[in-house]
Structure 1
Amino acid sequence: MRFILVLSLLLWLLPVSGGWAECTCKEPLKPELPSGKANAKEMATAGKEVEDYAKKMKTYRDCLVKCINGADNDLSAVVSGWNYAVDTYNAGKN
């Protein structure tokens, strides 16, 4: 009976986890950098592409940080739930 209680508690905690599974961070494509023989127009175009890349990369990094934080939170919730289940199980054995 206690096993069923512990199992039920763990199954109840499962929906808490999995937030990290929804992370769909997409790394932006790196811009092609001009050679040392580029003209002014090519340099201006490349400069705009690098600026755009930097903005997209910041968004990508922010997404990764959110995913890591979500995974850490999920891990903490599952470990806390497991510890509670073990404590409850052990308390019933006495």
Structure 2
Amino acid sequence: MHSPDEIIHQPVRLKIMAALNTLEAKQWLEFVALKSIVKATDGNLGAHLGTLENADYVQITKDFAGKKPRTRVRLSPAGREAFARYVADLHALLNL
């Protein structure tokens, strides 16, 4: 049995991964909406997203909606697989 993925296991990152996992594979979630879901500050969410992006678990895009800057996030294929493994590892741990 594997131990749960330490990158995902941190509470805010777990909330981020769980929220993004509810979306379709190619669907993006705006930073502002994700911030509201996980109840994090801009800086805190940005730092956790940086960790997840460095692990190739999320993809981040920045563009403009009209004249306003917009940041959007989605799970990468590797992130979707990592989250599925994380959930399976927790199930295995709870079924001992």
Whether the TM-score (by the shorter chain) exceeds 0.5 is no
Structure with greater helix percent: 1
Higher relative contact order (CA 8 A, sep 6+): 1
**TM-score normalized by the length of structure 1:** 0.30
Structure with greater strand percent: 2
Structure ID, larger Rg: 1
